[in-house]
Chains A and B, each alone.
Chain A
Amino acid sequence: EAQVTQNPRYLITVTGKKLTVTCSQNMNHEYMSWYRQDPGLGLRQIYYSMNVEVTDKGDVPEGYKVSRKEKRNFPLILESPSPNQTSLYFCASSARLAGNTGELFFGEGSRLTVL
């Protein structure tokens, strides 16, 4: 089954404790992206990757890191989480973002709480 898989789905952690949210897709998609979703603010892009070894900042990259060492994986790293990073995080992938066929497939989301 074609899917984007995120882990963990739920996490409660404390300020400053490094964590990684993994994202894996089995559709051989070139494009991958991370979003956070907060009430009243909608979906905001954190980082994206057009292909392996190519990553770029989105709209809200501060406090996050990513890597794209292989096509299927795009982990999100919070080196020193802070309470303002408490949010619902989505990973997404697409074969290509062009024209009207560039559908974005989302993972089920990871709800992160930083105390």
Chain B
Amino acid sequence: RKEVEQDPGPFNVPEGATVAFNCTYSNSASQSFFWYRQDCRKEPKLLMSVYSSGNEDGRFTAQLNRASQYISLLIRDSKLSDSATYLCVVLLITGANSKLTFGKGITLSVRP
């Protein structure tokens, strides 16, 4: 099983749609979780951290399910500007070392 796996894509949705991405991780000892956004030909940037209780930032909601080892990102009322690649990221700390593992990313295209 891969360390971090994301939904296969791409996703192509109309403006205003609600879209959800899932991501599973293999190591149950993983401590922290994030969603990053990457625009075409640009560097990834942090979109939001994922908290155990779930968290919301405007139209974006992130959730964590430790029992099933997955995280999700929900985007409501999609905008054209949401078109990008979304990367789920998992942090594992073992002793003095920290490792961030990135999913391959899922591309979202929002059409007018």
* Chain A positions near chain B (C-beta within 8 angstroms): 31, 33, 35, 40-45, 50, 56, 90, 97-104, 106-109
Contacts and interface: CB of A to CB of B under 8 A. Distances in A.
A102 B43 contact: no
Secondary structure call for the A interface = mixed
Secondary structure call for the B interface = strand
B104 A102 contact: no
A76 B60 CA distance: 36
Chain B, interface residues (CB within 8 Å), range: 20 to 34
B100 A97 contact: yes
A42 to B, nearest CB: 4
Given A45-B101, A97-B91, 17 more contacts: A40-B104, A41-B104, A42-B87, A42-B103, A43-B87, A43-B102, A45-B100, A50-B97, A50-B98, A97-B100, A100-B34, A101-B49, A102-B32, A103-B46, A104-B44, A106-B45, A109-B43
Contacts of B102: 35, 42-44
A96 to B, nearest CB: 8
Contacts of A31: 98
